[in-house]
Amino acid sequence: MQNQIFQLTAHHVGFEFSNGLRLFTSLSFTVGIGRYGLVGPNGIGKSTLAKILSGEIPATEGEIHASHPVTYLRQIEERPVQTVGEFLVEIWDSAQLDAVTQESLLGDIPFDRELQQLSGGEWTRVRIAKALATNSGLLILDEPTNNLDREAKRRIIEFLQGFEGNLLVISHDRELLEEMDSILEMSNQGMRAYGGSYSFYHEQRAQEIEQEQSTLNQLRREKKKTEKELHSKVQSQEKRMRRGQFQGEKGGMPKILLGARKRAAQVTLGAINSNESQRAENASADFQAHFSSVRSQTALRLKEIGTLVPAEKLIFTLANFNFRFAGSDSWLWPENLNLHMKGPERWAFTGKNGAGKTTLIQLLLSKGQKPTGEIRGELRMGSLRCSLIDQEYSILNSEQTVLESIMDVSGKGAEWIRNELAAFQFLGDRVHQKVQSLSGGEKLKLCLAKVFLADSVPELLVLDEPTNNLDLQSLEVLEEVLLGYQGPLLVVSHDPVFLENIQTREVCLLQS
């Protein structure tokens, strides 16, 4: 699938489920030659749109015209019981996969290896190679770097850098999106195109949102001003009417003249009401129209959070430390660990998948009790309150409501909790929504609420792969919260942009 003249045009495309729920509507955009990134909040319908573009499912409204077929590579695909060579047997007769691309994707993967034995990154590259062998004009990749370690992600990015075909990449990976030629943003307001990489998109979008909010604030002020003027003018006219009536009666004015004056005053009041009410209605309509056109944003109204700990307070110490699982003959790390964390430091455990990052977190939080195995050397944990947010959001009970989740950890009343939950974007009746119905970003916000609204606020916050499956807005929210967190922080992540943005010191764990 080398670069070729390609054009896909979508006109007012929409999709509605059989139960009548509308996922998106009236999307109009063009995809041509080059590399496009498709971004947007989780649940907006990006993967569904990809299926429509590839012809896998039909749109329920609108039209799509493509000059060549489109191939869609799903984020998750079950592995057949085959070797790599058997899975790829069809590509050897294809002229669509050139030798350079084949080498970048498959060069280090043995063809006699079973698919079940491949790492996540290797399986992704094998699937891409097979997809490229089809005679398509556009390849759509759905979250190709999700859950991959840095080395696996680097290989995918290097392939994209050298690939000369046409791509549409659905992703929240900012490092990957930086390699794109254009960004398409899918939102509640439709589709917008940005002619540049992620950095360009991020800068332009920030300027647009700032302008949108500025206009919204101006219209809000105008709306309040006209409403206030209406109230003031009506009050003034009513006051003049009462004063005129009083003076006329006091001065002995004939009733016929009093009546005429009263009718004239009422006509004036009616005109004021009509004119000023129309102005107020126009201002309100302008505000509502602009408000409905603004892209939905995720923002938390939080101040500095967390518990300050003294600079010399022990967080943990590992001295000549190692671990091996029960029944294993080998130690987890090729070299013993010697680490000492203290005070409000921010550390990130990095390394390849399988390097023992999550295992080390589990050992620290359990003070060496879990998982089961043999310990060598010293593990000492400071005396402090800890909270863990992992990628499964396991501190949440899927059967509870949002409100019940917080009531589990807070002795304060429901009214106080509801007020505080508003800062985490859980407004009104949304506090009664079941946890199982929340999106990944919403579950993350609820985890943060459960940690920071608890009666016992943590002194150490631990996060294990917190950015997996988060959209870009939720990522920025998480970064904002963690920058405001005052206590020590321990993070496991493969996302270098995220780790840099939250100002962590990286500790790389080697794989044995």
pLDDT band with cut points at 50, 70 and 90 for residue 185:
very high
Looking at residue 306, its pLDDT comes to: 65
Is 14's pLDDT higher than 60? yes
Looking at residue 147, its pLDDT comes to: 81
Looking at residue 295, its pLDDT comes to: 52
| 107 vs 183, more confident | 183
Looking at residue 291, its pLDDT comes to: 45
Looking at residue 290, its pLDDT comes to: 45
Report, as an integer, the average pLDDT of 477-497: 88
- Are 420 and 449 contacting, i.e. CB atoms less than 8 angstroms apart? yes
The pair of structure tokens assigned to 35 is 């590399």
Residues near 78 by beta carbon (within 8 Å), at least 6 away in sequence: none
Looking at residue 175, its pLDDT comes to: 93
| 11 vs 370, more confident | 11
Query: Which of 24-38, 158-172, 280-294, 411-425 tops mean pLDDT?
Result: 24-38
| 439 vs 363, more confident | 363
Number of Cβ atoms within 10 Å of the Cβ of 296:
10
Is 339's pLDDT higher than 90? yes
Q: What is the pLDDT of residues 376-412, one digit of tens each?
A: 999 999 988 899 998 889 999 999 999 999 999 999 9
Looking at residue 250, its pLDDT comes to: 56
| 464 vs 219, more confident | 464
Is 48's pLDDT higher than 60? yes
pLDDT band with cut points at 50, 70 and 90 for residue 4:
low
Query: 83 pairs with which residues across the strands?
Result: 114
- What amino acid occupies position 191? M
Looking at residue 437, its pLDDT comes to: 83
Looking at residue 93, its pLDDT comes to: 65
pLDDT band with cut points at 50, 70 and 90 for residue 256:
low
Looking at residue 450, its pLDDT comes to: 93
Looking at residue 230, its pLDDT comes to: 63
Q: What is the pLDDT of residues 66-104, one digit of tens each?
A: 999 999 999 888 999 999 989 988 877 666 667 767 788
The pair of structure tokens assigned to 259 is 């009546």
Looking at residue 148, its pLDDT comes to: 86
Residues near 66 by beta carbon (within 8 Å), at least 6 away in sequence: 6, 7, 8, 9, 53, 137, 138
Helices (H), 294-390: 357-365
- Are 450 and 395 contacting, i.e. CB atoms less than 8 angstroms apart? yes
Looking at residue 278, its pLDDT comes to: 59
- Are 176 and 170 contacting, i.e. CB atoms less than 8 angstroms apart? no
**If you count them, how many residues does the chain have?**
512
Looking at residue 363, its pLDDT comes to: 94
Looking at residue 247, its pLDDT comes to: 54
Q: What is the pLDDT of residues 265-316, one digit of tens each?
A: 565 556 655 565 556 555 555 545 544 444 555 555 555 566 778 889 999 9
pLDDT band with cut points at 50, 70 and 90 for residue 261:
low
Preceding omega of 58 cis (within 30 degrees of 0): no
Is 347's pLDDT higher than 70? yes
Looking at residue 289, its pLDDT comes to: 53
% of the chain at pLDDT higher than 70: 81
Full 3-state SS string of 439-496: CHHHHHHHHHHHHHCCCCCCCEEEEECCCCCCCHHHHHHHHHHHHHECCCEEEECCCH
